[in-house]
């Protein structure tokens, strides 16, 4: 129940238009409306387009695999490609990314193999990629907790005088969590080289943003912490890239954190087990489908003469190839050794775990007697 049943949500009434560099129709906005940001070069935009198309193909493929029951779950980022890809494109190699469950396409774009991304969703292990190679933290499930990790890592980098910046992705709902507030505040007080990118996809599972907060925008909150905030059209990859890059530069210069809100929309269900017809209208989804971030950029690039049929065909081919790789990695049998369950809990072996491991090993060997002896030994 909303405790404020009478009034119209402030978020809807008062929010200013978000910052954009390319509008809905694929036209560059006038320079005096671009908030001081410069439209990225056409080559840069073409690169972002390519990554968005490939990311979407991956996302659609994985959603299909989930519907076939071959993955335990998959939170789709369909429609959020501009935010996800801009975030990764703005990172330098030494930077760290702190993603959530929603941000698998960000991992893909930073170079994580499909099979390593899917390790967690198909249930092999809780997480399955090389964090240090990619400089990506494990995808966080407890909401907003990873924002504090990003602030801590960024602060450590600052103490070591490295020029590493941490970027963390958050959902709109997650900004209600205490950890988000604490992260914003710690970052500002410590002047941590960190960028908070909130993907406002307008829902936290079923709950719309006006039930999360009573202020106009999430970006407005930045002023309360003493850092700059930007309210950006999250379906305009040009604007997202320009703003995130500027925030990364600012952090790298030692000028502290930035809070960026990308206004976008979650086209798919929250996860495969969600039923969005219970809480939103098909017409709303259709409206946001018509604001597709990839189509918008496509119009611009075609008008610029940068996206020829040949280029488009090669991008689509690369996307299909990735989809095939993604399907293929599902046919490989992942070897998960039950005895590994005991391996990584502590740095040094514990007697109690060794006993339990011996029990499971005997049980697996089908050796009821040995398993009973292991139990008996451990109970002696």
Partner 1 sequence: MSPQQALDTGTAVRAPEDLTMAAALNAAIRDAMVDDPTVVLFGEDVGPLGGVFRVTDGLYAEFGETRVSDSPLAEAGIVGTAIGMAMYGLRPVVEMQFDAFSYPAFQQIVSHVAKMRNRTRGKIPLPIVIRIPYAGDIGGVEHHSDSSEAYWTATPGLTVVSPSNPADAYSMLREAIASDDPVIFMEPKSRYWSKASLSLPVQTEKLNRAVVLRAGTDVTLIAYGPTVKTALATADQAEAEGLSIEVIDLRSLSPFDDETVGVSVRKTGRAAIVHEAAQFGGYGAEVATRLTERNFFYLAAPILRITGFDIPYPSPKLEEYFLPTPDRILAALSTWEWS
Ligand X SMILES: Cc1ncc(C[n+]2csc(CCOP(=O)(O)OP(=O)(O)O)c2C)c(N)n1
- Which residues sit at the interface with partner 1, rule CB under 8 A? 125-127, 130-132, 137-138, 142, 145, 147-157, 159-160, 164, 166, 178-179, 182-183, 185-186, 189, 340, 343-348, 350-352, 378-380
Q: Please count the other Cβ atoms lying within 10 Å of the Cβ belonging to residue 123.
A: 13
By the 8 A CB rule, do 149 and 98 touch? yes
By the 8 A CB rule, do 79 and 264 touch? yes
The 8-class DSSP code of residue 124 comes to S
Active site residue 132: no
Q: Which of ligand X, Mg ion, partner 1, none does 102 bind, CB closer than 5 to 8 A by kind?
A: ligand X
Site string for Mg ion, 110-149 (x = CB under 5 A): ----------------------------------------
Which range binds ligand X by CB under 6 A, 106-114, 166-174, 242-250, 367-375? 166-174
Q: Is 171 in the site for Mg ion (CB under 5 A)?
A: yes
Site string for ligand X, 222-261 (x = CB under 6 A): ----------------------------------------
> Measured between alpha carbons, how far is 261 from 253 in angstroms, rounded to an integer?
22
Q: 2 vs 38, which CB is nearer to ligand X?
A: 2
Q: 153 vs 238, which CB is nearer to partner 1?
A: 153
> Measured between alpha carbons, how far is 11 from 242 in angstroms, rounded to an integer?
25
Active site residue 270: yes
Q: 58 vs 96, which CB is nearer to partner 1?
A: 96
| Helical ranges in the chain per DSSP H | 10-14, 42-67, 81-89, 104-109, 114-121, 131-134, 145-159, 178-190, 222-225, 237-253, 282-289, 293-303, 309-331, 351-364, 368-379
CA torsion 179→262→80→100, rounded to 10°?
Answer: -10
In whole angstroms, how far apart are CA 365 and each of 339, 340, 371? 12, 15, 9
Least distance from Mg ion to the Cβ atom of residue 219, Å: 15
Q: 16 vs 142, which CB is nearer to partner 1?
A: 142
Active site residue 279: yes
Indicate which single residue of 18, 40, 114, 173 sits in contact with ligand X (rule: CB under 6 A). 173
Site string for Mg ion, 186-205 (x = CB under 5 A): ---------------x-xx-
Determine which one of 56, 102, 122, 266 is catalytic. Answer: 266
Q: The tokens of 261 are what?
A: 């809100």
Q: 179 vs 236, which CB is nearer to partner 1?
A: 179
Which range binds ligand X by CB under 6 A, 5-13, 45-53, 167-175, 239-247? 167-175
Reference 168, options 196, 132, 134; nearest CA is 196
By the 8 A CB rule, do 241 and 32 touch? no
Determine which one of 131, 279, 289, 350 is catalytic. Answer: 279
> Measured between alpha carbons, how far is 354 from 369 in angstroms, rounded to an integer?
18
Q: Is 98 in the site for ligand X (CB under 6 A)?
A: no
Determine which one of 57, 122, 135, 270 is catalytic. Answer: 270
> Which residues are marked as active site?
266, 270, 279
């Amino acid at each position: 129940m909303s405790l404020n049943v009478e009034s119209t949500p402030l978020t809807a009434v008062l929010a200013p238009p978000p910052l954009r560099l390319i509008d809905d129709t694929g036209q560059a906005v006038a320079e005096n409306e671009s908030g001081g940001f410069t439209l990225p070069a056409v080559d840069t935009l073409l690169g972002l387009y390519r990554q968005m198309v490939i990311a979407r193909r991956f996302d659609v493929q994985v959603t299909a695999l989930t519907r076939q029951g071959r993955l335990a779950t998959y939170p789709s980022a369909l429609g959020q490609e501009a935010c996800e890809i801009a975030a990764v494109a703005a990172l330098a190699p030494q930077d760290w990314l702190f993603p959530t469950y929603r941000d698998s396409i960000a991992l893909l774009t930073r170079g994580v193999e499909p099979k390593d991304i899917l390790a967690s969703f198909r249930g092999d292990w809780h997480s399955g990629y090389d964090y240090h190679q990619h400089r990506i933290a494990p995808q966080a499930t407890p909401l907003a907790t990873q924002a504090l990790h990003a602030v801590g890592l960024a602060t450590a980098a600052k103490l070591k005088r490295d020029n590493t910046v941490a970027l963390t992705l958050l959902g709109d709902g997650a900004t209600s969590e205490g950890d988000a507030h604490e992260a914003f505040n710690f970052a500002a007080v410590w002047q941590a080289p960190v960028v908070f990118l909130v993907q406002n996809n307008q829902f936290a599972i079923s709950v719309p943003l006006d039930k999360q907060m009573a202020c106009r925008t999430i970006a407005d909150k930045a002023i309360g912490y003493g850092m700059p905030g930007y309210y950006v059209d999250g379906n305009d990859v040009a604007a997202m890239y320009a703003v995130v890059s500027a925030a990364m530069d600012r952090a790298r210069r030692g000028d502290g954190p930035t809070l960026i809100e990308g206004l976008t929309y979650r086209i798919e269900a929250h996860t495969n087990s969600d039923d969005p017809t219970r809480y939103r209208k098909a017409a709303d989804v259709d409206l946001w489908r018509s604001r597709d971030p990839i189509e918008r950029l496509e119009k611009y690039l075609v008008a610029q003469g940068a996206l020829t049929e040949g280029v488009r065909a090669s991008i689509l081919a690369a996307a299909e190839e990735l989809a095939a790789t993604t399907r293929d990695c599902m046919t490989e049998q992942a070897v998960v050794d039950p005895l590994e369950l005991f391996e990584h809990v502590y740095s040094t072996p514990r007697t109690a775990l060794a006993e339990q491991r011996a029990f499971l090993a005997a049980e697996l060997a089908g050796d009821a007697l040995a398993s009973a002896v292991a139990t008996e030994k451990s109970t002696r």
